[in-house]
Structures are given as structure tokens and as C-alpha cells.
């Protein structure tokens, strides 16, 4: 084999190997921690908010519902700051009439097996995001938190819920 042929073969092998890896999600739907900013929000209501750790942020609610299995989830978005360039730092999904098995199945099909679980909690993590499914968070309602892995303080707070 000539040098260019060897290079082409190795490149092809590398591309095939990359193609077999499942993609890692950086968010859900149109909301991505890697590029979504406050400017990208086109519906619902957004208002300034104090975040749990004292930082200033923006809370956007009354967004278009997100479908999880057979149920619609209410979507709340949190941004770090109030300027149009403020980055997305949390997506919350609230599911009324939640069926825990249905949510667990959706989380597993979307994010793979959980990295940890407890009686009513499941936790997922990849290179971009950390997710917690509280099943239920209160009677008849489940809550899903999706955060970028950089939000360590909020991740630790949610683990304590």
C-alpha cells in the first residue's frame, strides 16, 4: 500500500469508529447549553430573578410545552444574567400527572443509563450536561432539572432535595 492509501485507510477507520459513538446531548429540543442565550427566547415570559446562589439571572416561563412520552412538560429556563447574551444555565421540565416509569424510560432513551439512582431519583451526566429526574417531586408531579456540568453548586443543591 502506498502512503496516501494508508492515510486514506486510517482516516476512514477513524471516521467509522467515530460514527459508532452515540452523540452526547448538550440540552433538549431547541435549548442547548453550548449556545443558547437569552436572545434566543422568542415566546413565553422572561423576568429578572435572583438565582439560588445569589447571582442575578433571568427566569423564562410559559414556554412551548415539551413532549415526554405521552405527556406535556412545562418548560422553565434560567439564564445567568439579564442581558441578551446571557447563557442558559438550567432547563426545568415539570410534568403533571406524571407516570414515573414513563419518565424513567424517556430519560434512559434520551440520555442512556443513569450514573446514579435512589428510590425516587435518577441522575444522568455526560460531557455537557447533568440531569436529575425527581420521580415524583411531589404527588402527581415529576420534575426534571437539566444543567451544564459547570453549575456545581446548583447540582449539589439538587442532589440534596
| Structural domain includes residue 11 | no
- Give the contacts of 149 (CB within 8 A, at least 6 positions apart): 125, 127, 128, 129, 130, 155
pLDDT value of residue 161: 84
| Structural domain includes residue 29 | yes
| Structural domain includes residue 6 | no
Task: Look up cell 482516516; give the residue.
Answer: 11
| Structural domain includes residue 4 | no
Tell me the three cell numbers of residue 145.
432539572
- Contact by Cβ (8 Å): 122, 135: yes
| Structural domain includes residue 79 | yes
The torsion angles phi and psi of 148, rounded to 5 degrees, stand at -70, 150
pTM for this predicted structure: 0.84
pLDDT value of residue 49: 97
Report the relative pairing of strands 116-118 and 121-125 from DSSP bridges. Answer: antiparallel
pLDDT value of residue 138: 79
pLDDT tens digit at each of 161 positions of the chain: 443 333 333 333 333 444 555 678 899 999 999 999 999 999 999 999 999 889 999 999 999 999 998 899 999 999 999 999 999 999 999 999 998 999 999 999 999 999 999 989 999 999 999 999 999 877 889 999 999 999 999 999 999 98
pLDDT value of residue 4: 36
Q: How crowded is the C-beta side of 66, counted as CA atoms within 13 Å? A: 22
pLDDT value of residue 11: 36
| Structural domain includes residue 9 | no
| Structural domain includes residue 129 | yes
Tally of domains in the chain: 1
Question: Domain range for residue 51?
Answer: 24-159
| Structural domain includes residue 12 | no
Amino acid at each position: 500500500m502506498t502512503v496516501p492509501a494508508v492515510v486514506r485507510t486510517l482516516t476512514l477507520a477513524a471516521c467509522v469508529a467515530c460514527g459508532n459513538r452515540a452523540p452526547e446531548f448538550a440540552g433538549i429540543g431547541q435549548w442547548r447549553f453550548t449556545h443558547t442565550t437569552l436572545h434566543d427566547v422568542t415566546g413565553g415570559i422572561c423576568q429578572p430573578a435572583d438565582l439560588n446562589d445569589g447571582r442575578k439571572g433571568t427566569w423564562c416561563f410559559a414556554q412551548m410545552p415539551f413532549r415526554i412520552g405521552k405527556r406535556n412538560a412545562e418548560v422553565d429556563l434560567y439564564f445567568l444574567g439579564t442581558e441578551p447574551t446571557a447563557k442558559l444555565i438550567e432547563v426545568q421540565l415539570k410534568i403533571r400527572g406524571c407516570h414515573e416509569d414513563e419518565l424513567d424510560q424517556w430519560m434512559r432513551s434520551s440520555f442512556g443509563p443513569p450514573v446514579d439512582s435512589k428510590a425516587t431519583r435518577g441522575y444522568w451526566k455526560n460531557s455537557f450536561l447533568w440531569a436529575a429526574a425527581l420521580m415524583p417531586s411531589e404527588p402527581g408531579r415529576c420534575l426534571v432539572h437539566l444543567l451544564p456540568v459547570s453549575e456545581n453548586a446548583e447540582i449539589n443543591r439538587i442532589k440534596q432535595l
